[in-house]
């Protein structure tokens, strides 16, 4: 274990109100790529290129639902993904009473699968899907099994994933809970995010605690504000820090 990971372990030991704020880099070790790493994707049917952001926008969902679900099912739903060492370490920290909340930009549900109880999903979850007409609930398996546009068997309405698409606002209750958790934390760990997606990235401005830790493979706009910056794989860092804490 290197000096910076040892420093993180010491911070974890000293803290009893930790909040974790994470992004796509948290789940890459589980085999879920950051879809923004894709360049423009060509739609043969529509005869033009689209960015990944355009393909998961509200207007694209409304205008081209067939193409939306084709991209969505291939690129955003990973039913076989399992929690990695970062997810597991965070769940254990919560079990120990040190970590009070996880705030995630991810939509994969892996924090809950690892055992985390208090999770604020800023961008929703692929595991929840609702009919746009009658609001009946459907799981991810239903969406994946559907041919083309998933339709509600009860009313034939289009079923929409409970994810926040581009051009849509974040859930107010989720935002309120996340802000409260961050504002009360003594330690905020930001991991696996480049902090460029707003308004989610702006939430860290509510932190006024003792220790700000940044764990990301590349630099972020908040590095200069942090007490500790670790440029490494977050699953490895969290596994080693937790192991040191437990020994």
| Residue-wise DSSP of 61-91 | HHH-HHHHHHHHHHHT--TT----HHHHHHH
Residue 183 and residue 145: Cα distance in Å, rounded? Answer: 42
Contact present, 162 and 125 (Cβ < 8 Å): yes
Contact present, 134 and 155 (Cβ < 8 Å): yes
Please report, to the nearest 10 degrees, the dihedral formed by the alpha carbons of residues 96, 99, 105, 109 taken in order: 20
- Quick one: DSSP state of residue 151? B
Catalytic site includes residue 156: no
- Report, in this order, helix, strand and coil percent for the chain, each rounded to 5: 40, 20, 40
> Exactly one of 58, 87, 111, 123 is catalytic; which is it?
123
Contact present, 241 and 219 (Cβ < 8 Å): no
| Active site residue ranges | 123
């Amino acid at each position: 274990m290197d000096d910076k990971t040892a420093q993180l372990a010491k911070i974890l030991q000293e803290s009893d109100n930790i909040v974790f704020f994470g992004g796509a880099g948290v789940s890459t070790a589980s085999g879920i790529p950051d879809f923004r790493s894709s360049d423009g994707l060509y739609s043969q049917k529509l005869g033009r290129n689209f960015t990944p952001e355009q393909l998961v926008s509200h207007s694209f969902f409304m205008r081209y639902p067939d193409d939306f679900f084709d991209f969505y099912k291939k690129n955003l739903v990973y039913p076989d993904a399992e929690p990695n060492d970062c997810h597991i370490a965070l769940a254990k920290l919560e079990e120990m009473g040190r970590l009070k909340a996880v705030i995630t930009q991810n939509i994969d549900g892996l924090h809950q699968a690892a055992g985390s109880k208090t999770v604020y999903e800023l961008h929703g979850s692929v595991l929840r899907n609702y009919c746009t007409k009658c609001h009946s609930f459907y799981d991810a398996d239903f969406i994946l099994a559907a041919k083309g546009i998933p339709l509600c068997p009860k009313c034939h309405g289009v079923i929409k994933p409970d994810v926040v698409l581009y051009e849509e606002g974040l859930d107010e209750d989720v935002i309120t809970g996340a802000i409260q958790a961050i504002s009360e934390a003594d330690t905020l760990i930001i991991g696996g995010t480049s902090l460029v997606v707003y308004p989610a990235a702006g939430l860290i401005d509510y932190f006024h605690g003792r220790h700000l830790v940044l764990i990301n493979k590349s630099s972020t706009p908040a590095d200069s504000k942090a007490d500790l910056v670790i440029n490494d794989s977050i699953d490895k860092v969290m596994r080693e820090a937790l192991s040191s804490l437990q020994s």
